[in-house]
Amino acid sequence: MNYKELYQPAHTIIGKGCIQEIPKHIDTIAGKKALVVTDEGLYKIGTVKKVTDVLDRAGKPYALYTGVKPNPTVSLVNEAKAVYDREGCDYLIGIGGGSPLDVSKAVSILAKNGGKIEDYNGLDKSKKSGVPLIAINTTAGTGSEVTRAYVVTDEVRKVKMLMVDAHCLSYLALNDPALMVDMPAPLTAATGMDALTHAIEAYVAKSHFPFTDGLALEAVGLVGKSLQKACENGRDMDARTDMCWAEYMAGLAFSNAGLGMVHAMAHQLGGFYNTPHGVANAILLTYVMKYNLPSCKDRYADIARALKIDTSHMTPDQAANAAIDYIEKLAERIYIPKLSQTAFKPSDVLTLSLHALEDTGMPENPREATLVDVQKVFMDAYYAK
């Protein structure tokens, strides 16, 4: 195959105040009634109202579903879909971080394709494009507003299913940093490290190509410049705006190149213990980088340069290690916990590792991992080696 298909939303708007543009896009898709999918927290702090005020002023009808929880489950998706049907909706507006946006994508796919959401676990399993989705991002972030992926926890098997499917791409992706100023520092830190993980995994993924390389390196640079600032001062609009671009570009990069072993393992912590996704990635990132190093040290050296580390007197090995060291220190400065401070239990490591090997993210990892390798990386992270 000598061609590449690019996956991206039909429209994107990024910048302070961009939610004002929503009504004209509703007119374009001729949307009659939206299901607004969000979570209770965002409803209570008034973030949802900022968007519904725009809909109210423009006379756009909608029903509200505020029941999304972090690491959303199959039953939660079914509940949201039942509201969508009962209310006679014909398109979706997701407001939130990855969890509400992923539920919106799942409902969008079910509304057009029927069946159970478990049927769509894996790569391109649906037949038809979902109903139109306006994805309004509030964390920076998962990149869910831009990606062709969504994640749903199978609560029976305690596994996070990663669906990669071009049919779930949003019609309109919105990133308004003004919606992000209320993110507390730990959430800013965790979601920012998720974005960094997307960029790094995309940069070293087996399927990377020049388009994704450019996006990934620029995203890494912006995280290096602004994540700590956004954690220290949530009202720093320049830092929030940088993080919007970083998470969007990192999302676009991995949506086109793929993920890797960090996500394959992090999904298990989310599915088994409900560990927040960004925290799980942030904890595992440098341990997986150390494991992958023999397969991609030149690429890690590029990441060091993107982080503005002066590598001019370093060997590729030293530069790659400098990148890992930088990220370890960044994680400490923004108070990312250690694996031993989470619900992880060493006695679960075999099950977690078996599931990680089956994760949709694993095949793109630059180094082929065995069961023993995955177990060792979990345990290295646990003992903070």
Q: What is the contact surface with ligand NAD in residues (CB under 6 A)?
A: 39, 41-42, 45, 47, 70-71, 96-100, 102, 138-139, 141-144, 147, 149-151, 160, 179-180, 182-183, 187, 191, 194, 270, 277-278
* 165 vs 302, beta carbon nearer ligand NAD: 165
Single out the segment in contact with Fe ion by CB under 5 A; choices: 21-29, 130-138, 186-194, 293-301.
186-194
* 149 vs 204, beta carbon nearer ligand NAD: 149
**Shortest CB 279 distance to Fe ion, Å:** 11
* 47 vs 268, beta carbon nearer ligand NAD: 47
Three-class DSSP category at 307: coil
CA–CA dist 245, 192 (Å, integer): 11
Instruction: Give exposure, 108-117, as e/b (b: 16+ Cβ within 10 Å).
Output: bbbbebeeeb
Binds 256: which of Fe ion, ligand NAD, none (CB < 5-8 Å by kind): none
Looking at residue 187, its amino acid is: L
Considering only residues 3 to 62 of the shown chain, the ones binding Fe ion according to CB under 5 A are none
User: How long, in residues, is the chain?
Assistant: 385
Question: Which residue in 95, 125, 109 sits closest to 169, CA to CA?
Answer: 109
Binds 102: which of ligand NAD, Fe ion, none (CB < 5-8 Å by kind): ligand NAD
Binds 180: which of Fe ion, ligand NAD, none (CB < 5-8 Å by kind): ligand NAD
**Shortest CB 316 distance to ligand NAD, Å:** 30
Looking at residue 308, its amino acid is: K
Residues with Cβ within 8 Å of 226's Cβ and at least 6 positions away in sequence, in order, are 238, 239, 242, 243, 246
**Shortest CB 252 distance to ligand NAD, Å:** 11
* 197 vs 375, beta carbon nearer Fe ion: 197
Q: Is 302 in the site for Fe ion (CB under 5 A)?
A: no
**Shortest CB 190 distance to ligand NAD, Å:** 7
Q: Is the dihedral of CA 110, 69, 139, 366 positive or negative?
A: negative
* 134 vs 180, beta carbon nearer ligand NAD: 180
Q: Hey, what are 3's tokens?
A: 């061609």
Single out the segment in contact with Fe ion by CB under 5 A; choices: 82-90, 188-196, 209-217, 243-251.
188-196
* 204 vs 319, beta carbon nearer ligand NAD: 204
Q: Hey, what are 165's tokens?
A: 């499917």
Query: By beta-carbon distance, which residue lies closest to Fe ion?
Result: 194
**Shortest CB 334 distance to ligand NAD, Å:** 15
CA–CA dist 269, 215 (Å, integer): 28
Q: Is 359 in the site for Fe ion (CB under 5 A)?
A: no
Q: Is 194 in the site for Fe ion (CB under 5 A)?
A: yes
CA–CA dist 110, 244 (Å, integer): 29
For residue 24, how far is the Cα from the chain centroid? Answer: 27
Question: Which residue in 278, 93, 245 sits closest to 177, CA to CA?
Answer: 245
Query: By beta-carbon distance, which residue lies closest to ligand NAD?
Result: 98
Three-class DSSP category at 211: helix
- Phi–psi pair at 175, nearest 5 degrees: -130, 100
**Shortest CB 257 distance to Fe ion, Å:** 14
Q: Is 247 in the site for Fe ion (CB under 5 A)?
A: no
Rounded to 10 degrees, what is the CA torsion of 105, 109, 112, 115? -140
* 179 vs 320, beta carbon nearer ligand NAD: 179
Query: In whole angstroms, how far apart are CA 7 and each of 106, 117, 212, 376?
Result: 18, 21, 11, 35
Asked if 60 and 103 touch (Cβ cutoff 8 Å), the reply is no
**Shortest CB 372 distance to ligand NAD, Å:** 26
One-character DSSP codes across 59-79? T--EEEEEEE-SS-BHHHHHH
**Shortest CB 102 distance to Fe ion, Å:** 11
**Shortest CB 346 distance to ligand NAD, Å:** 23
* 239 vs 301, beta carbon nearer ligand NAD: 239
Considering only residues 139 to 178 of the shown chain, the ones binding Fe ion according to CB under 5 A are none
CA–CA dist 221, 238 (Å, integer): 14
Q: Which residues bind Fe ion (CB under 5 A)?
A: 194
